[in-house]
């Protein structure tokens, strides 16, 4: 996902300064004149005070009055127009002080809303400052420092201890503890070995690294996070859309009632001045300012908070749907598991386990098969020195062979080894059966026709997966099921390790979609979590699709509504809880906004509430609603 022109790494990302916000400058300027007018009035200079009140009204109200005029040009009657008419009406009635104070108070709430939204968005855009502007690339036999935008996928970059990593890539040389907190939300440094993925903007620990870039700078993880979050924050939630539709009817109705309150008594010969004052107070009391900010501030704060914890949510509708989640479907491979095989057990029949693994790795070091790569990585991780090999050959659907230390060595599937006439000892056959029953793959290592031992491999469960079910139930999720295309034996073995009791195995992509659709019909909404291309249809069919962000395929990420950037499954229940909190806060804000309007409108007619009292109550409630929504931005 390409970044826009204003988010290149060389451009400094400065925090929005309080006095650099136009709405705040306008409010401060307006209040300066209002305070001067109040002093002049106290000294008896009423004429000068009136002029200063008028100037203060223009200064504080210019921005929202201009928005009111722009809205009229688009045939929209909004909150800004209601407040502008109320202020103009008060001035026409000679209530210059009240009009100026209303303009000043409304400008403060507008300034606070603008500043808090800018500040929240800056917290995400500030990620760009984490990416260094240059990178040391290995070119032409040496190091060359170049702008990070010039680094191409496939080039190797040197990262020294303590430096920020400039590119997304894979570690090719070295090992270190990486601080990934800014990107994935992981609070502790994570140990990374050769072959591990690292992200631009994360900080290298005490090891020197050589990183092979996997993406160009404009498509790195930081750029993608910024682009996805900014797009998400621009999308509206269902509650916000309902409020806006209500506002398109409500605001013109309020203006119409206010006009009637002013004109009917005038035509009927009643106390026109009193009724005109009621009309102006009614405009302020009934203005839906607090209702308008009840939802968007909360959604922006929550989406920004999630992004800082390594969870990308693609819009307010998605966040609200997460808050209503009752059922979750989980893919197995790459979701509950790491998605890559690892050596889990070895049985050495001759020599020890280290020599068995070292010999097997010598043959497999030229192999592209996932099981072969897992054997080599396991040997190197244990510090084994892998011998050289010659005359490597891959045997279709059987295994691999090579000459190691003068002898012919083969790593074969059990079926292929037995097809050669190999006689497997009884204890080895029992061990093989035990491993396969547990869902592991087994290979046999032979020197000539002699069996050296067996190696078991499996796609291992993510460490956070066993506690996931309890966390989801604590978050209020009623039903959790595994949907996988893998065989039932492997699926049940993984389910036993994670505590899942419902497993649907051997599913084709269309069958996953059918199960997700059935869950959606039963529970009213379902979350699907997956990572592969075969998961994309099910992710799209779910109420909310969640993709494992870094390990997830491009198709899965495109189909999903949420991405877990660091492939951290423990974030799943956190995002469900965040959705529930956001939903509660939105409902609190809407209820409070409506209650305040009812109380103020009733007070306008039953208690002769002044316009100034109405605006203090109204704008005070708006400030409290903004602060209530912003609480979600502070949660870690």
Name the catalytic one among 191, 219, 271, 331.
331
Closest to 242 measured CA to CA, from 586, 497, 537, 509? 586
Tokens representing 177?
């503890």
- How far apart are the C-alpha atoms of 387 and 412, rounded to whole Å? 19
Which DSSP symbol is given to 141? Answer: T
Q: Is 5 a catalytic residue?
A: no
Instruction: Tell me the three state secondary structure of residue 175.
Output: coil
Tokens representing 71?
């809205």
- How far apart are the C-alpha atoms of 299 and 320, rounded to whole Å? 9
- How far apart are the C-alpha atoms of 195 and 178, rounded to whole Å? 14
Residues paired with 528 in a beta bridge: 329, 545
- CB atoms near residue 304 (< 10 Å): 24
φ, ψ dihedrals at 486, nearest 5°: -75, 170
Tokens representing 607?
């208690």
Tokens representing 89?
């009406």
Tokens representing 296?
């968007």
φ, ψ dihedrals at 196, nearest 5°: -75, 150
Q: Identify the burial level of 6 via C-beta atoms within 10 angstroms of its C-beta, where 0-12 means exposed, 13-18 middle and 19 or more buried.
A: exposed
* In contact, 227 and 182? CB cutoff 8 Å: no
- How far apart are the C-alpha atoms of 361 and 355, rounded to whole Å? 10
Residues paired with 451 in a beta bridge: 446
Tokens 């201890």 sit on residue: 161
- The answer for 151, left when phi > 0, alpha when psi is -120 to 50, beta otherwise, is beta
CA end-to-end distance (rounded Å), the chain: 27
Closest to 207 measured CA to CA, from 229, 181, 182, 189? 189
- How far apart are the C-alpha atoms of 254 and 282, rounded to whole Å? 8
Tokens representing 50?
């009136």
- How far apart are the C-alpha atoms of 512 and 534, rounded to whole Å? 9
* In contact, 286 and 203? CB cutoff 8 Å: no
- Torsion sign, CA atoms 380, 383, 389, 394: negative
Element (DSSP H or E) covering residue 410: strand 407-412
Non-local CB neighbours of 21 within 8 Å, separated by 6+ positions: 111, 114, 115, 118
Q: Which residues are catalytic?
A: 331
């Amino acid at each position: 996902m390409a970044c826009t022109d204003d988010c290149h790494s060389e451009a400094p990302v400065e925090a929005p300064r309080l006095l650099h916000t136009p709405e705040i400058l306008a409010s401060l300027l307006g209040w300066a004149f209002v305070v001067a007018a109040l002093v002049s009035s106290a000294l008896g200079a009423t004429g000068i005070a009136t002029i200063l009140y008028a100037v203060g009204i223009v200064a504080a109200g210019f921005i929202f009055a201009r928005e009111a005029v722009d809205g009229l040009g688009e045939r929209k009657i909004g909150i800004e127009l209601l407040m502008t008419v109320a202020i103009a009406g008060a001035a026409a009635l000679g209530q210059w002080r009240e009009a100026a104070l209303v303009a000043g108070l409304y400008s403060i709430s507008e300034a606070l809303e603008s500043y808090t939204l800018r500040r929240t968005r800056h917290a995400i855009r500030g990620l760009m400052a984490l990416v260094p502007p240059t990178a040391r690339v290995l070119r032409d036999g040496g190091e060359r420092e170049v702008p990070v935008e010039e680094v191409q996928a496939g080039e190797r970059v040197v990262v020294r201890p303590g430096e920020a990593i400039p590119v997304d890539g894979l570690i090719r040389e070295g090992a270190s503890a990486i601080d990934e907190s800014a990107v994935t939300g992981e609070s502790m440094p994570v140990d990374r070995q050769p072959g591990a993925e690292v992200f631009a903007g994360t900080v290298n620990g005490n090891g020197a690294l050589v990183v092979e870039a996997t993406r160009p700078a404009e498509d790195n993880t930081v750029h993608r996070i910024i682009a996805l979050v900014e797009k998400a924050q621009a999308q509206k939630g269902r509650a916000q859309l309902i409020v806006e539709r209500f506002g398109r009817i409500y605001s013109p109705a309020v203006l119409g009632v206010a006009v009637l309150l002013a004109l009917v008594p005038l035509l009927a010969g009643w106390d026109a001045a009193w009724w005109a004052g009621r009309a102006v107070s009614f405009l302020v009391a009934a203005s839906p300012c607090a209702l308008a900010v009840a939802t968007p501030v909360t959604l922006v704060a929550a989406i920004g908070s999630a992004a800082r914890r390594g969870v990308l949510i693609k819009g307010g509708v998605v966040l609200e749907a997460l808050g209503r989640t009752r059922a979750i479907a989980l893919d197995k491979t790459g979701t509950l598991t790491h998605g890559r095989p690892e050596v889990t057990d070895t049985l050495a029949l001759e020599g020890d386990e280290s020599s068995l693994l070292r010999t097997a790795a010598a043959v497999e070091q030229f192999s592209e098969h996932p099981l072969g790569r897992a054997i080599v990585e396991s040997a190197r991780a244990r510090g084994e020195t892998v011998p050289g090999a010659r005359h490597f050959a891959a045997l279709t659907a059987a295994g691999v062979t090579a000459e190691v230390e003068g002898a012919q060595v083969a790593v074969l599937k059990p079926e292929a080894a037995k097809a050669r006439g190999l006689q497997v000892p009884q204890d080895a056959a029992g061990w093989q059966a035990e491993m396969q029953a547990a869902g592991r793959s087994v290979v046999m290592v032979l020197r000539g026709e002699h069996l050296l031992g067996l190696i078991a491999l499996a796609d291992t469960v993510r460490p956070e997966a066993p506690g996931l079910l309890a966390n989801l139930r604590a978050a209020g999720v009623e039903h959790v099921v595994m949907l996988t295309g893998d065989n039932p034996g492997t699926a049940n073995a993984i389910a036993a390790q994670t505590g899942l009791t419902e497993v649907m195995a051997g599913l084709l992509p269309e069958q996953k979609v059918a199960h997700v659709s059935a869950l959606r019909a039963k529970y009213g909404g379902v979350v699907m979590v997956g990572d592969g291309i075969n998961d994309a249809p099910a992710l799209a069919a779910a109420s909310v699709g969640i993709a494992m962000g870094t390990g997830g395929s491009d198709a899965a990420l495109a189909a999903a509504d949420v991405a877990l950037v660091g492939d951290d499954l423990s974030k799943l229940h956190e995002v469900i809880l965040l959705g529930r909190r956001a939903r509660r806060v939105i409902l609190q804000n809407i209820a409070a906004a409506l209650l305040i309007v009812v109380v103020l409108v009733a007070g306008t007619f039953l208690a002769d509430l002044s316009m100034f009292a109405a605006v203090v109550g109204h704008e005070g409630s708006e400030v409290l609603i903004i602060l209530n929504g912003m609480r979600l931005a502070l949660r870690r």
